[in-house]
């Protein structure tokens, strides 16, 4: 039973990470409920408990847990020095951190695109002669998750008599993304100064789409760098495996020696640092 403990820990960690990723994907891709009637047949607002956390949901604890589990697995599964447990634990933590960041970026990009679509629908409704609340309701009928519950809560707040400026600012606080802050700031300024709301929203929507397009171009160019990092890391482990197959005794003696363990662990730590550095450099900030 003790010998199977590392395998059980690894399987439990993999199952937990898969559950987190699948749950986040399911929340985003779940089809929106179809409404049989008008919006006023639904509750006025989403319960506060459902929207109390900010978007997107983050899993900060997944990275350190993965590092601890990987380090324990390496230590319990083999006779390698402690340096390898620390190095592989750090590498696993960085890889899970990068994956969690990528997952959050995908969800953020999706809700930002939905915001741009919502603005376009509002512009069409406003130019047809409807009011602000009616334009929001028209956009809500075509909205999808994950933005749909937030838009529904916004409409409910305005219906209950809350100031639209305060409601929009609350939306930007629950979804702390650059595009939502830009939308909230522009909307609040226009609400105080007056003018054509349709023209203002048209400019905001165009600007948001330009930002999304620029972000996609940068991410597309960063794919080559990411592929190079994965290729270099794969080559290093492939060369190590070939050397072990050709002369296993000498390689094992080198890796288990103090100087060999230090050199190999240092290389793994440098790989983790490189992965983290590349992920930070390729992040879009503007």
The one-digit pLDDT tens for each residue of the chain (286 residues) are: 444 454 455 555 555 555 555 554 444 444 444 333 344 444 444 444 445 467 888 888 888 898 898 888 888 877 778 888 899 999 999 999 999 888 888 898 899 999 999 999 989 888 888 888 888 888 888 888 888 999 999 999 888 888 888 999 898 888 988 889 888 888 888 888 877 788 888 888 898 898 888 888 888 888 888 888 888 888 988 998 999 889 888 888 888 888 988 999 999 999 999 889 888 887 766 5
pTM comes to 0.74
pLDDT of residue 49: 45
Q: Report how far residue 56's alpha carbon sits from residue 59's, in angstroms, rounded to the nearest whole number.
A: 10
pLDDT of residue 280: 82
pLDDT of residue 93: 92
Q: Report how far residue 57's alpha carbon sits from residue 103's, in angstroms, rounded to the nearest whole number.
A: 10
Residue 22 token pair: 């699948």
pLDDT of residue 59: 84
Q: Report how far residue 210's alpha carbon sits from residue 24's, in angstroms, rounded to the nearest whole number.
A: 27
Residue 78 token pair: 């083999």
Residue pair 137/116 in contact (Cβ under 8 Å)? The answer is: no
pLDDT of residue 53: 62
pLDDT of residue 284: 67
Sign, Cα dihedral of 196, 197, 200, 206? negative
pLDDT of residue 90: 92
Residue 259 token pair: 């100087």
What is the 3-class SS of the chain, one letter each residue?
A: CCCCHHHHHHHHHHHHHHHHHHHHHHHHHCCCCCCCCCHHHCCCCCCHHHHCCCCCCCCCCHHHHHHHHHHHHHHHHCCCCHHHHHHHHHHHHHHHHHHHHHHHHHHHHHHHHHHHHHHHHHHHHHHCCCCHHHHHHHHHHCCCCCCHHHHHHHHHHHHCCCCHHHHHHHHHHHCCCHHHHHHHHHHHHHHHHCCCHHHHHHHHHHHHHHHHHHHHHHHHHHHHHHHHHHHHHHHHHHHHHHHHHHCHHHHHHHHHCHHHHHHHHHHHHHHHHHHHHHHHHCCCCC
pLDDT of residue 2: 46
């Amino acid at each position: 039973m003790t010998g199977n403990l590392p395998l059980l820990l690894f399987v439990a960690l993999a199952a937990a990470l898969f559950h987190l990723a699948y749950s986040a994907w399911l929340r985003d891709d779940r089809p929106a409920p179809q409404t049989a009637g008008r919006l006023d047949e639904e509750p006025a607002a989403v319960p506060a408990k459902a929207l109390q956390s900010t978007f997107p949901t983050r899993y900060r604890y997944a990275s350190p847990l993965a590092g601890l589990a990987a380090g324990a697995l390496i230590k319990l599964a083999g006779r390698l020095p402690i340096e390898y447990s620390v190095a592989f634990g750090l590498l696993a933590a960085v890889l899970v951190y990068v994956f969690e960041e990528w997952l959050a970026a995908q969800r953020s990009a999706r809700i930002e695109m939905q915001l741009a679509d919502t603005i376009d629908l509002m512009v069409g409704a406003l130019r047809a002669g409807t009011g602000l609340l009616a334009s929001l309701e028209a956009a809500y009928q075509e909205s999808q998750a994950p933005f749909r519950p937030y838009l529904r809560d916004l409409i409910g707040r305005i219906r209950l008599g809350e100031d639209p400026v305060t409601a929009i600012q609350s939306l930007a606080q629950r979804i702390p993304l650059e595009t939502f802050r830009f939308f909230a700031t522009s909307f609040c300024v226009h609400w105080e100064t007056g003018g054509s709301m349709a023209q203002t929203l048209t400019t905001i929507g165009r600007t948001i789409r330009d930002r999304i397009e620029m972000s996609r171009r940068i991410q597309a160019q960063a794919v080559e760098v990411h592929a190079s990092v994965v290729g270099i890391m794969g080559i290093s482990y492939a060369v190590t495996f070939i050397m072990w197959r050709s002369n296993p005794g000498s390689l094992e003696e080198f890796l288990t020696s103090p100087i060999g363990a230090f050199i190999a662990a240092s290389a793994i730590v440098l790989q983790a640092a490189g992965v983290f550095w590349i992920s930070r450099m390729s992040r879009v900030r503007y």
